[in-house]
């Protein structure tokens, strides 16, 4: 399955998720040869996994992985899994305040580790996007970052925060031979996503925050803070790389501050009346 997905330019993350889901299914079937499984048997196994508490998102991913394997790898064109798709749980993302973000950054002493967290928050990058950054992607003169082959295999341009340019240049001088902005332990390798998550977790603990904050929380916070300061939601959609505005709209549910700042157009053309109606 891996070879097929690589040939079709699936992202490394998609391949990893599909393979993990497929391996999970094989354990449930006690490693029965998947070629011999009927669609009825597959549905029974899926129903059993659902009853045992497999999350809706994990079950949906598994169904997609199985369909890909049987249709693409085994060439079963008529293969179908007739099982109601579980509704994915919708949870509002955890968001940090600007003060909490600043506190987290203040507890990171390693320059490299601090920069990768600053990039995650300052440009709204995913963890995978942070570790895949190369120096050629940092457009210093334009104060932009070229994010390549992100989720959905789409490139996008995001902002390079002015406040980290000097630190980023100083950091680059220390590692002039690396192509990766955040190089890994071994030559030629990028830093692992797991390391980035560990850096974030340690910083959150040192900062004494009770919120369960991950690197992706910085991305959520980036979007929310932009919305609170009046940035158009469609521009935020572009910065985040969301294919659908519906994905970005979730941030409107977690930022009452933005709603409080909305001004009626009538108040804009009658500013004097506002003063009269407001209590002293």
Hey, which residues are catalytic here?
Answer: 126, 151, 216, 219, 242, 251
Token representation of residue 63: 């169904």
For 58, 93, 124, 225, 257, the CA distances from 229, given in Å and listed in that order, are 35, 19, 15, 6, 9
Sign of the torsion angle spanned by Cα atoms 203, 209, 210, 215: negative
Taking alpha carbons only, the member of 37, 226, 194, 28 closest to residue 124 is 226
Residue 148 tokens, joined: 């390549």
Q: Is the distance from CB of 21 to CB of 62 less than 8 angstroms?
A: yes
Distances, alpha carbon 260 to alpha carbons 131, 227, 267, in Å: 37, 12, 14
CA distance 32 to 49: 16
Closest CA to 239 of 161, 166, 168: 161
The helix-helix angle for 165-174 and 111-123 (nearest 10°) equals: 140
């Amino acid at each position: 399955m891996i070879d097929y997905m690589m040939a079709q330019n699936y992202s490394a993350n998609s391949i990893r998720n599909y393979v993990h889901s497929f391996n999970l299914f094989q354990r449930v079937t006690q490693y029965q040869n998947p070629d011999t499984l009927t669609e009825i048997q597959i549905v029974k196994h899926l129903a059993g996994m659902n009853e045992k508490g497999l999350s809706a998102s994990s079950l949906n991913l598994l169904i997609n992985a199985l369909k890909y394997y049987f249709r693409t790898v085994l060439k079963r064109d008529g293969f179908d899994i007739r099982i109601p798709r579980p509704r994915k749980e919708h949870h509002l993302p955890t968001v940090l305040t600007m003060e909490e973000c600043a506190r987290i950054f203040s507890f990171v002493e390693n320059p490299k580790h601090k920069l990768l967290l600053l990039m995650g928050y300052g440009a709204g990058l995913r963890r995978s996007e942070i570790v895949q950054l190369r120096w050629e992607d940092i457009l210093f003169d334009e104060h932009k970052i070229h994010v390549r082959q992100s989720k959905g295999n789409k490139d996008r341009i995001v902002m390079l925060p002015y406040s980290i340019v000097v630190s980023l240049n100083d950091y680059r001088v220390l590692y002039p031979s690396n192509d990766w902005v955040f190089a890994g332990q071994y030559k030629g390798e990028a830093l692992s996503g797991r390391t980035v998550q560990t850096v974030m977790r340690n910083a959150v603990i040192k900062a004494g925050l009770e919120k369960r904050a991950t690197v992706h929380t910085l991305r959520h916070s980036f979007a929310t803070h932009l919305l609170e300061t009046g940035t158009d939601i469609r521009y935020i959609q572009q910065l985040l790389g969301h294919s659908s505005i519906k994905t970005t709209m979730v941030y409107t549910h977690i930022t009452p501050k933005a709603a409080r700042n909305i001004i009626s157009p009538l108040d804009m053309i009658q500013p004097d009346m506002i003063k009269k109606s407001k209590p002293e």
